[in-house]
Structure 1
Amino acid sequence: MNRSEREAAVRRIMERTPPAVPPDLCGDAVRRGGRMLRRRRAALRLMWLLMFVASVAFLVWALMARPWVEPPSEVTPPLTGW
């Protein structure tokens, strides 16, 4: 297909009447968009809730286990100087 044939094909496509748009297309798009926004908002709230629960669980574990404190010695030091 050379350039003039492509241009003719494009002109034929452009001269066609555009397809009819369904009358309820806008309403469907609004409902679908609202549903998507509600799902996204719910997913974000769930993510924040899970992050909060995880941070509280970590805080409780850290307060109970005290990982920053050196564990007590298992062996008694030798007695010298008696």
Structure 2
Amino acid sequence: MNRHEHKEDEVRRMMDTARPHVPGDLAARAVARGTRLLHRDRVVRRIGWALLALAVAAFVVWASVVRPWEVPPAGTTPPLEGW
């Protein structure tokens, strides 16, 4: 018996057995769970956008104070010769 025949026999056995009992409130529970998941995803997305906005604001404030695009002042002065 090759692998394909073995799987086919297993599927036939599964189809011949009695089907399990499905709870009557399964659809209602699925809807409630889906609603909770959508609500949680929406809250997580809003928190993520808020954190991103705060990070951008913090970067703008930092950049305006530090001004990283300007050349820093020289730490030493050049020697004065010829005075």
- Give the alignment's TM-score, normalised by structure 2: 0.75
RMSD: 2.6
1:20 to partner: Cα distance: 2.2
Q: After TM superposition, give the deviation of residue 11 of structure 1 in Å.
A: 4.4
Moved over 4 A (4+): 9-12
Unaligned regions of 5+ residues in structure 1, if any?
none
Structure 2 unaligned blocks of 5 or more: none
Deviation of 1:27 after TM superposition, in Å, equals 0.5
Identity %, equivalent residues: 49
SS at match of 2:43: helix
CA distance in 1, matches of 2:48, 2:15: 48
Q: How many pairs does the alignment contain?
A: 80
Q: Match of 1:69, as an amino acid?
A: E
Map of 1:60 onto structure 2? 61
